[in-house]
Amino acid sequence: MNITPNGPKTSSSAAGSSSVTDESYWQALLNEGEVTSLRQPAPWAFRPVSGDGAEGSSRQDDDEQDWIEAERHLQQRIVCDLPVIGYNRGGLLVRFGRINAFVPSSHLKGFPVYADFRERELALERRVGQVSRFVVIEIDREHRRLILSERAASESRNPEQILARLKPGDVVTGRVSNLRRFGAFVDLGGFEGLIHISEMSWGRVNHPGEVIQPGDEVRVYILDVNMAERKVQLSLKRLQPDPWANVLDRYQVGQRVRGEVTNVVSFGAFVRLEDGVEGLIHISELAEGNFLHPRNVVREGQWVEARVLNIDPANRRIGLSLRQVRAGASRRDGRSEAFIFERRAGAQRPDSAR
C-alpha cells in the first residue's frame, strides 16, 4: 500500500487536507501524562475550517470513509505503510487518513522492554517521522480509538487464527510483553492476553513485577476468550494448587497459629498464615481496652500469635483473635505471680510462728 502525508492512500479514502480527531480521547491521554512529544500540533488543537471562517462539516462526516477503510483493514488483515507523527509514554501516534491511531509499545518490533524510562523515551522519539508497516488490531468507533500493531504486521501467522484456536481451560506458553499496575500482557504468538494481578498468585501481590518480568516465558491457563471484544483472560495461579481447597486439614477452631501482619486497615489487621492463606483479626479481637486505630496495636511486617475463631473455606475467610492469646498469657503470668507470692509467704510463716 502507498502512503500520502495524511495517511494510507486507498480508493475509498475521502479527500481532504486537514486532520481531525476526537478531542476527548487525546485529552484523556494528555491528562494521564501520556503525551510527551508531537512533531505536529496536538490533534485536539485544530479543526478543519471552511473558507468563510465557519467550522467545516462534522468530524464524523469528514472521517467516515477512513473508519470504513479501517474496518476493511481489520477484517482482511491488510498490512499498510503509515507515517509516525508522534509518541507518548505508552507508544506511537500514527496517521491513518484523518484518524490519529495508536500503537502500544508492546506491539512495536524490537522495542527495548528492559530499558529504563529515558531509554524507552529516546527509542520512541527516534521513530517519529519514519514510515513503518502496521496492521489494524482494534477499532472502537464509540470512543474513536484505532489501535495498530507493528509486530502483528510482521507475524506470519494470522492473529485471528490464533485467537480462534484458544479455548478456556487450555494451558499455553507465551512471553511477557508488558507490565501494568493492573496486570501483565503475554504474547501468545501474535496475539496478546492479559493476566490480571488477582490471577498472578494465590497470595497477595502488590505489583506484577513481584511475580514476573518482561521477556519471561510463562505457562498460563486460559480463563476466558471473548471473540467479540478480542480479549483473552489468563491466569498463573490456576496452575498451582489452591491452598484453600484443603484448609480444614491444616487449621481448626481454637488452634493457636503464628503469622505475619500484611495489612492494617481501619477495621482490623490481615495476617498471612501461609502463601495464599490470610486471616483477619477484627478490631474487636486485637486488644483489650480502647485504642484509636489498629496501628496502635500492630504494624505491617510484625509476626504475631493468634487464635483461630472461625474458618469459612467457601468465602476464603479465617477469623483470628490476638486479644484472646494475650489475655491468656496475662492470666498465666498472673497465676505464676500468685504462686510465687504464696510460696514466699509460706516460707516466712515458720519464722513468724517463732
Range list of H helices, the chain: 23-31, 59-62, 64-76, 117-127, 150-154, 159-165, 323-353
Q: Do 232 and 188 touch, CB atoms closer than 8 A? A: yes
pLDDT score for 9: 36
Reported confidence tier of residue 155, pLDDT bands at 50, 70, 90:
low
Model confidence over 76-89: pLDDT tens digits?
A: 888 888 999 999 88
The top-scoring range by mean pLDDT among 8-12, 54-58, 159-163, 329-333 is 159-163
Model confidence over 126-137: pLDDT tens digits?
A: 899 999 889 899
Q: Taking all residues of the chain, what is their mean pLDDT, rounded to a whole number?
A: 78
| Cα 196–chain centre separation | 5
Could you state, in order of their start, the residue ranges of all structural domains in the chain?
3-154, 159-239, 247-327
pLDDT beyond 80 at 6: no
How many other CB atoms are there within 10 angstroms of residue 97's CB atom? 26
Q: Which of 332, 304, 328, 316 is nearest to 254 (CA)?
A: 328
pLDDT score for 103: 93
Q: Do 149 and 107 touch, CB atoms closer than 8 A? A: yes
C-alpha cell at 62: 469528514
Reported confidence tier of residue 59, pLDDT bands at 50, 70, 90:
low
CATH class of 247-327: mainly beta
Does CATH number 2.40.50.140 belong to domain 3-154? Answer: yes
Q: Which of 103, 102, 85, 183 is nearest to 144 (CA)?
A: 102
pLDDT beyond 50 at 295: yes
Reported confidence tier of residue 161, pLDDT bands at 50, 70, 90:
confident
pLDDT beyond 60 at 47: no
C-alpha 326/C-alpha 312 separation (Å) is 24
pLDDT score for 35: 38
pLDDT score for 21: 39
Reported confidence tier of residue 74, pLDDT bands at 50, 70, 90:
confident
Fold of 159-239: OB fold (Dihydrolipoamide Acetyltransferase, E2P) (2.40.50)
C-alpha 106/C-alpha 213 separation (Å) is 13
Q: Answer whether 3-154 and 247-327 agree in fold.
A: yes
Model confidence over 187-209: pLDDT tens digits?
A: 887 678 999 999 999 988 989 99
Model confidence over 303-345: pLDDT tens digits?
A: 999 999 999 999 999 999 999 998 866 555 555 444 444 444 4
C-alpha 33/C-alpha 27 separation (Å) is 10
Torsion angles phi and psi, residue 159, rounded to 5: -55, -30
Reported confidence tier of residue 61, pLDDT bands at 50, 70, 90:
low
pLDDT beyond 50 at 4: no
Torsion angles phi and psi, residue 126, rounded to 5: -65, -20
Reported confidence tier of residue 109, pLDDT bands at 50, 70, 90:
confident
